Amino acid sequence: MDERLFEASRKGETSTLLQLIEEDPLILEDNTKHASLETPLHISSLHGHVHFVNQILTQNPGLAKTVNNKGYSPLHLASANAHLETVQELLKIDGRHELCRRKDGKGRVPLHLAVIKERHGVVEALIMACPDSIREITDKRETILHLSVKSENGCELLGRLLQGFKVKEMLNSKDDEGNTVLHLAALRKQHEVMKMLLLQPELDVNAMNSNELKALDILLKGPKQSNDEEIVHMLHLASMPKLENQALSEQSQANDAVIEVDVKMKDSTSKRDTTDSFEWIGEMRRGTMVMAVLIATVTFEVALNPPGGVWQDAGSADSDVPNPKGSRRQGKSIAEDVSPKSLTWFLVWDSIGFLASMNIIVLLTSPSKLKAKSIRWEYVRLMMWVVIASVHMVFLYGVQIITASYVFKRAVIAPFVFFYGISGLLALRSGWSLVTEWRDLAKDLWTKKNR
């Protein structure tokens, strides 16, 4: 290539280009004879000089189809380098979509390079110009979904593709190693990408690659991370057959019973429900942590500042205050002398509430993920009930210490009795409904067994 033409292409000097064409009208045609070399259109497209590109295309539009020694066309270079205006200029002469489908030395079309480099605007422009290009695959049989997962911010780009374009039919496409996009996400520990994929009903969670491995197998075999447990559990649930496709096998009575319980309790479990259940567990964990911290703070505070306050000075007790020790001690609880039994029970229940709250905080701050069905989560739930019970008793004994007996019975005990009377009736009703439900279930199992 003429050195002056090369410099003009690199700098985008349109006036120099026109001057060179005037001196030698065939200067652009001569470059097309050397397909292994860069043409002026390659260089100007690489640097995004849109006006220079426009002038070359006006003089010789055939240069747009020329490829260099790596198989790159000018559209490949403009797409990879996010020169959107240059891409749009090149697409104007691509009436038959030849440029959009032209492949480089690795079987990649310009859209593939734009996806690899995460050029979002260029990706949209190329798909709008040639919608069929989304179905093109590389020499390694990779789709744009495979390539998006391999990019640095694969989650964002994959989300755009799934939401804005018809690419869901490629969710289960396999590359030359038999990997689907879910396999690649599992291999790269891209948890957010996997969560997004699990929301797609078209996804085949149980697809196997060339090594006969599922995405779950790959995740379990790789290096362990603290947040793997949640994704593993989601994959386990998502891999279960859908309710409408389940066929009740006749292998054994135990298997029949398990399937029947699933039919009653799960009722059309979907991947969306799976994700929602994990979000619910996360919300419960955060809410329980807030409650535990709050109650631990309150129980700590009232233990140091008991109801009724403390003696402000030492000396003989007032005549109207019974004091078995005969003298009050500065800084000590007044209730210790006035209502020692109530104060004792108050501190017992306050200590239980404080310790149970601390137990919950310790369990919830451990690094591993909580499962919906685990001994640790059940223990947290038990401690929650202990905390709730202790708060009730602390309230009752605290109010009793500072309130007259007749006021306490009318203003506190009466509402408690009424409230728990109503709650007890509702609990009995719910319990009876549960009993009848399990009775009907047992009846169905017995009927099936004796058919």
Long-range contacts of 152-157 (CB under 8 A, 24+ apart): 152/118, 153/118, 154/185, 154/190, 154/193, 155/190, 155/192, 155/193, 155/196, 156/118, 157/115, 157/118, 157/120, 157/123
Residue 267 lies in a domain: no
Domain holding 408, by residue range, is 404-451
Residues 392 and 289 in one domain: yes
Domain for residue 245, yes or no?
no
Please state which of the ranges 37-41, 74-78, 373-377, 407-411 shows the lowest mean pLDDT.
373-377
Examine the domain organization and report whether 106 and 193 are in the same domain: no
Same domain for 115 and 181, yes or no, is no
| Cβ atoms of residues 353 and 292 within 8 Å | no
Least confident of 104-118, 149-163, 222-236, 420-434: 420-434
CATH number of the domain at 202, please: 1.25.40.20
The 10s digit of each residue's pLDDT in 218-241 is 888 877 777 778 888 888 888 776
Residues 92, 107 within the same domain = yes
pLDDT at 78 over 50: yes
Q: Is 51 among the domain residues?
A: yes
Same domain, 223 and 277: no
Is 258 part of any domain? no
- 9: part of which helix (H) or strand (E)? helix 3-11
pLDDT tops 50 at residue 260? no
> What pLDDT sits at residue 45?
94
pLDDT of 76 reads 95
Q: How confident is the model at residue 30 (pLDDT cuts 50, 70, 90)?
A: low
Domain match, 288 and 384 both: yes
At residue 272, the pLDDT reads 46
Tell which of 215, 239, 263 closes a domain. 239
Q: Please state which of the ranges 40-54, 56-70, 276-290, 297-311 shows the lowest mean pLDDT.
A: 276-290
In this prediction, residues 137-155 reach a mean pLDDT of 89
Question: Which residues are CB-contacts of 251 (< 8 A; sequence separation ≥ 6)?
Answer: none
Does position 324 have pLDDT exceeding 60, yes or no?
no
Over the chain, what is the mean pLDDT? 77
pLDDT at 243 over 50: no
In a domain, 254, yes or no: no
Asked which of 198, 223, 239 is the last residue of a domain, the reply is 239
Same structural domain, 412 and 425: yes
pLDDT at 444 exceeding the cut of 80:
no
- Quote the pLDDT of residue 85: 95
Please check whether residues 289 and 158 belong to one and the same domain.
no
pLDDT at 253 over 50: no
The answer to the question of residue 253 being in a domain is no
Task: Say how many domains are in the chain.
Answer: 4
pLDDT of residue 249: 38
pLDDT of residue 331: 67
For the cut 60, the answer to whether the pLDDT of residue 269 exceeds it is no
pLDDT of residue 56: 92
Residue with tokens 């609990």: 427
Token pair for residue 183?
Answer: 């396999």
Rounded CA gap, 310 and 330, in Å? Answer: 7
Per-residue pLDDT tens for 354-363? 887 887 777 7
pLDDT of residue 438: 63
Confidence label for 160 from pLDDT (cuts 50, 70 and 90): confident
- Indicate if 386 and 293 belong to the same structural domain: yes
Q: What pLDDT score was predicted for residue 280?
A: 57
Residues 385 and 310 in one domain: yes
pLDDT, position 367:
56
- 398 and 408 both lie in a single domain: no
User: Among 30-39, 46-55, 224-233, which stretch is predicted with the lowest mean pLDDT?
Assistant: 30-39
Please check whether residue 141 lies inside any domain of the structure: no
Question: Cα–Cα distance between 57 and 28 in angstroms, integer?
Answer: 10
Q: Which residue has the higher pLDDT, 154 or 114?
A: 114
% of the chain with per-residue pLDDT over 70: 75
Least trusted range by pLDDT, from 157-166, 206-215, 334-343, 438-447: 438-447
Q: Is the residue at 448 inside a domain?
A: yes
State whether 363 and 391 are in the same domain: yes
Does the pLDDT of residue 410 top 80, yes or no?
no
Per-residue tokens: 131? 């919608």
Residue 112: per-residue pLDDT: 94
Using the 3D structure, point to which of 239, 260, 284 is the last residue of a domain.
Answer: 239
pLDDT value, residue 199: 86
